A and B are shown apart, each in its own frame.
Chain A
């Protein structure tokens, strides 16, 4: 193969690639912003339950419509994610199952059902079904410019909703009892937050896949928390870390053939997170290890030597 042929075979930095990368970057950013709020509300696993039920929706949308364009499949995924979260609420309300056990049940049943449906579809080689399995681990190479624009618009709306209701969401996350006592509809505010998480999980599917997309909502905010003691800064850093992780994942998978995007995005996010946990000032492992234990004497008392 001549060098020129080799170059031509490598995925070029076309206009298309760049637009897709920008769309996925927007998703990573919005996932970090929404995830920061969900981290503050201490419900990081809500996204996991939603994510693992999305495959059912992808498969069902394909079977019902026979189409495999992104808007159709993601609409199915969103319906399934919301149904999964509703199932979670029902299991908790009508049985005496604990939160974590109920989440595990929804994840297991949803994922099992989704894999069974997808395997059935691909095993029968139904026309047009090729590529559906990419929703498992994520693969951005097949995205069109229109897909990328859709992802970016949904991400922008999610961020706008967060910024609009930041005061209310922070209040509920910090002190739900005080919020309820002062008349705020805590249940409604929680539902909006959970819906935002479900939406981010769904638009994150092409980038990270059903198995790993939760990491996009959880890991960048955890990394961001290491660096700041203020909510607005947390959102900015969470969004930035998510954006960087998404770009790294898309870029590497564009260069390495047959490499799914999901693991790369998650590994990039995990790297940022580990570095943050280690070296962040004050909260980081190193800082706490070298922290001098200083005891302030009570007023009027001499400092002990």
Chain B
């Protein structure tokens, strides 16, 4: 039994993943292994392919090359155990559903075709809403919530999936500080229950304090490991190099223009 831990397949393994949108590659040969449950941040500049990496794992974008495996198995075998929080802007918040309706959607995967949510699903959804602090607005139409509340509705829906791995795509984008703390509190709770939480995140300052481990991505994997070891000035320079160049270019262009006029 001594080697059971080391021989167990990693929770998540991206192997040699390459993704392209209409011929233009956005991710190149990414190898990323997450061996055990933790709070894991995927960090990088805009357009670095962070969300694409999540989506490639969930089968939402086709892989040109490579594989994504969960506990050593393909996604199709373990779909019920993988929860997902998409970016908030991907849906129409004017849609005629209540907060409760959206959270119940998290139970649909387990319910299967044609079965409607019953009292078990409703009480689970209420628990999840309570966990994110939204039980008081359960019957409200989703458009009449703040951005932070909408994000927490999505989190509650993922909780209702009762998954073991959670993929969250920019859950802090456009979210007030209080909702951010509340969301991270829930995520830390999931980790302490032994679940893996993978978060696409863009804010370096909060990343350093919240995540156990991170991966720096800029179309390819720059570095991965424990947060303190990875978020070094050198690694950050390499990850954000493209943007530094861009800034310099803009600066030069502005300088050139002010000289001519």
Contacts and interface: CB of A to CB of B under 8 A. Distances in A.
Interface of A: 40, 42, 164-165, 167-168, 170-171, 173-175, 177-178, 180-184, 225, 228-231, 234
Contacts of B92: 42, 174
A158 to B, nearest CB: 17
The 7 tightest CB contacts between A and B, nearest first, are A229-B141, A182-B109, A181-B84, A181-B58, A183-B79, A229-B96, A175-B91
A230 B91 contact: no
B96 A181 contact: no
B11 interface: no
Contacts of B58: 180-181
A183 B60 CA distance: 10
A178 B141 CA distance: 19
Contacts of A231: 96-97, 101
Contact of B108 (A42, A164, A171, A229): A171
B109 A230 contact: no
B95 A174 contact: yes
Interface of B: 55, 58-60, 76, 79-80, 82, 84, 86, 90-92, 95-98, 101-102, 105, 108-109, 111, 113-114, 116, 141, 157, 161
Nearest to A230: B96
B60 A181 contact: yes
Contacts of A173: 95
Given A167-B114, A183-B109, A178 B96 contact: no
Given A168-B113, A231-B97, 7 more contacts: A167-B111, A171-B105, A177-B90, A178-B157, A182-B84, A183-B80, A229-B98
Contact of B161 (A170, A171, A182): A182
A165 B114 contact: yes
Contacts of A177: 55, 60, 84, 86, 90
27 contacts: A40-B96, A164-B114, A167-B108, A167-B111, A167-B114, A167-B116, A174-B92, A174-B95, A174-B105, A177-B86, A177-B90, A178-B84, A178-B86, A180-B58, A180-B59, A180-B60, A181-B82, A181-B86, A182-B79, A182-B84, A182-B109, A184-B108, A184-B109, A225-B96, A228-B96, A230-B98, A234-B96
Contacts of B108: 167-168, 171, 182, 184
A182 B110 CA distance: 9
A35 to B, nearest CB: 14
Nearest to A225: B96
A174 B86 contact: no
A221 B198 CA distance: 40
A120 to B, nearest CB: 43
Contacts of B80: 183
Nearest to A165: B114
Contacts of B95: 40, 173-174
Contacts of B90: 175, 177
A203 B60 CA distance: 36
Contacts of A165: 114
A171 to B, nearest CB: 6
Given A165-B114, A228-B96, A174 B60 contact: no
Contacts of A183: 76, 79-80, 109
A54 B49 CA distance: 44
B105 A178 contact: yes
A165 B112 CA distance: 11
Nearest to A174: B95
B241 to A, nearest CB: 31
A211 B111 CA distance: 42
Most buried by B among A42, A228, A230: A230
Nearest to B106: A182
Contacts of B157: 178
A167 to B, nearest CB: 6
Contacts of A184: 108-109
A174 B97 contact: yes
A226 B219 CA distance: 45
Given A167-B116, A168-B113, A175 B97 contact: no
Contacts of B84: 177-178, 181-182
A181 B105 contact: no
Contacts of B102: 174
A192 B109 CA distance: 19
A220 B84 CA distance: 35
A93 B109 CA distance: 30
A285 to B, nearest CB: 16
A163 to B, nearest CB: 10
